[in-house]
Amino acid sequence: MTDHFSDHYPVDATNKVKRRHDRGFYDHGTVHALLDSAALAHVAYVIDERPFCTPTLFWREGTRLYWHGSSASRMLRNLSKGEPACLTVTHFDSIVLARSGFNHSADYRSVMAFGTARLVTDVVERDRALTMMVDRFFPDRTALLRPTTGQETKATAVIAMEIEKASAKIRARGVVDDEEDYELPIYAERLPIRTVIGTPEPCPRIIPGVERPTTLQSYREGRLLEEALLEAYQLAYS
């Protein structure tokens, strides 16, 4: 698997940002950074002409995305046939209160990635994916765990999707009103929103003497989750 020769994803009617072109980005650097600093994605697909959208954990390798689930799930049974899919992530950065309802908004960073999803059947690729399913978020953790049983492997399916097209859309403007509205006696503000890691809560049944692994150092109380996820990704694929 290799990245595209270009450092940008191709743009056409599928992924081009239609409104506010200045908010659209198609370069690998922007798209991949937003993907790698996210954990939860939503995958959209169609079954029998009915749309579905499923939340799932995911990860990226080059220009390929992976996610997993129960072998019996409707999403995986459908996508295993090789179906068009769209995976999206969103970083919600603020709520914006303006001086008119029309100008109320939100700051955000998002990605839409398009491709053809397929079931991973190659044993080597599947086993590696099942390892990175954990290690992408917690580098080297799989080596510390008990081996996965055959029944657990059988119950877990992995989906891969090569990113054929993608776009990032970013709004980071805060309060923006019509010029004449700034003179109105109306309160306006930006409410920043951050997802922050809380105090770790060790399992109460941990055997005495078992310490928190240093490989979890990315996940510290008070740190932004997206920073921890991006650092973990970089360590996992270093």
- DSSP, collapsed to helix, strand or coil, labels residue 110 as strand
Average pLDDT of the residues in 67-88: 79
Identify the pLDDT of residue 72.
72
Q: What is the pLDDT of residues 101-157, one digit of tens each?
A: 999 999 999 999 999 999 998 999 999 999 999 999 999 999 999 998 989 888 888
CA distance 115 to 135: 24
Please compute the mean of the pLDDT values over residues 65-82 and round it to a whole number. 76
Specify the pLDDT at position 1. 40
Residue (of 65, 34, 12, 6) closest to 170 by Cα position: 34
Per-residue model confidence (pLDDT) at position 64: 96
The H or E element that residue 192 is part of is strand 189-192
What does the alpha-carbon distance between residue 38 and residue 229 come to, in Å, rounded to a whole number? 7
Q: Give the mean pLDDT of the chain.
A: 91
Please write the tens of the pLDDT for every residue from 21-44: 888 899 999 999 999 999 999 999
Q: List the beta strands (DSSP E) in 22-178.
A: 24-25, 40-47, 50-61, 64-70, 83-97, 105-119, 156-162, 165-171
Quickly state the pLDDT bin for 47 (edges 50, 70, 90): confident
Which pLDDT score, from 0 to 100, does residue 228 have?
97
Handedness of CA 80, 81, 82, 84 (dihedral sign): negative
The pLDDT-based confidence of 79 (bands split at 50, 70, 90) is: low
pLDDT at residue 71 in the model: 72
Would you state the pLDDT for residue 2? 40
pLDDT on residue 89: 97
Q: What is the pLDDT of residue 198?
A: 97
Of the pLDDT bands very low, low, confident and very high (cuts 50, 70, 90), residue 3 is very low
Q: State how far the alpha carbon of 42 is from the alpha carbons of 53, 85, 113, 183, in Å.
A: 6, 10, 11, 42
What is the spatial distance between Cα 195 and Cα 198, in angstroms, rounded to a whole number?
Answer: 9
Residue 91 pLDDT > 50, yes or no?
Answer: yes
Separation of alpha carbons 89 and 52, rounded Å: 16
pLDDT reading at 69 higher than 50: yes
